Amino acid sequence: MRIAFQGASGAYSEGAAQRAWPDAETVPCEHFEHVFAAVAGGRTSHGLLPIENSIGGSIHRNYDLLLEHELPIVAETELQVVHNLVALPGTDISRIRRVCSHPQALAQCEGFLRSLPDVEIVATYDTAGSARQIREEGLADTAAVASARAAEIFGLGILKAGIQDFRDNITRFLLIARDPQPLGAPDKTSVVFALPNAPGALFKALSVFALRDIDLTKLESRPMRGRPWEYLFYVDLGVGRDDVRCARALDHLAESARWVRTLGSYARWVDPAATVPAARQADASLS
């Protein structure tokens, strides 16, 4: 299993891939488009994409790319993100005049960054790539927002750990592949559809799921290119595609939608560390 990810070694996407699939080989890519190209071209078997963050919200570019490519979602995973302010070893925080990182990382640390006096905030394409640039160019007055692993890889010091605005800073990732076979029993489905611009169209579309007691775990709208002020709707359903309720709901939706496309049906992420065996729970209740 070879997993393409966006960013340099030490990026959070790589950390998520290694945590969920520790035996996989990870392949860095400069841009999200290159992740799709690596999978489509056979250079890797899978690609991992951040899709939303509990603080910063959705990564809209990846929603658009999922629609542009015929690469199904086969799994998801989550990562608890801990941001750190990193710089060349021995640097005092008072010397920092510039902080660089990916826009999502900067947004997730907005409160802390505002507390730094006379510091320029610079958006870059990658957290780990920002750390690498500081090392390669010897930028003594620059810090990056990056992972502890990125700091270790590029020989940087951590000026301050855990600088994200909220402790529960979680990023959700989607795993794409050429082979549509999901990694695990599907109990979640991602769908995108377009509707006619008519009163009640969205209400009617969503009602096909409510009528069948299907949970919508995510709803996202995106502009429809070439049709100003019209929108696509992405939904995550808390049910597998082969469940009869889901199949009937999507057939029902197709009756009123301009078109409907299933992006993937896959197993929802369950953190193994958060799963306590039943026997251990019983032991705890007796103590």
DSSP helix/strand/coil, 105: helix
Per-residue burial over 187-209, b if 16 or more Cβ lie within 10 Å, else e, is bbbbbbbbbeeeeebeebbbebb
Question: Among positive and negative, which fits the CA dihedral 204, 205, 206, 208?
Answer: positive
192-237 pLDDT, tens digit each: 999 988 899 999 999 999 999 999 999 999 998 888 888 999 999 9
pLDDT-derived band at 149, boundaries 50, 70, 90: very high
1-80+167-180 and 84-161: identical CATH topology: yes
CATH of domain 1-80+167-180: 3.40.190.10
Is there a catalytic annotation at residue 171? Answer: yes
Q: What is the pTM of this model?
A: 0.86
Section 140-160 average pLDDT: 95
Is there a catalytic annotation at residue 154? Answer: no
Confidence (pLDDT) at 188? 97
Give the contacts of 64 (CB within 8 A, at least 6 positions apart): 222
- The structural domains of the chain, with segments of one domain joined by +, span 1-80+167-180, 84-161, 184-276
Of 26, 44, 91, 171, the active-site residue reads 171
| Percent of the chain surpassing pLDDT 90 | 80
**Number of DSSP helices (H) and strands (E) in the chain, helices first:** 10, 15
Question: Among positive and negative, which fits the CA dihedral 81, 15, 216, 212?
Answer: negative
Fold entry, domain 84-161 = D-Maltodextrin-Binding Protein; domain 2 (3.40.190)
Of 173, 193, 209, 233, the active-site residue reads 173
Section 275-280 average pLDDT: 51
Pick the CATH number of 184-276 from 3.30.70.260, 3.20.20.140, 3.40.50.11890, 3.40.50.300: 3.30.70.260
5-59 pLDDT, tens digit each: 998 889 999 999 999 999 999 999 999 999 999 999 999 999 999 999 988 889 9
DSSP helix/strand/coil, 7: coil
Confidence (pLDDT) at 209? 97
Q: Output the average pLDDT for the chain.
A: 91
Confidence (pLDDT) at 274? 63
> Is pLDDT above 80 for 276?
no
Comparing CA positions, the residue from 46, 33, 40 lying closest to residue 4 is 46
155-173 pLDDT, tens digit each: 999 999 999 998 888 999 9
240-255 pLDDT, tens digit each: 999 999 999 999 999 9
Helices 32-40 and 60-68 meet at what angle, rounded to 10? 30
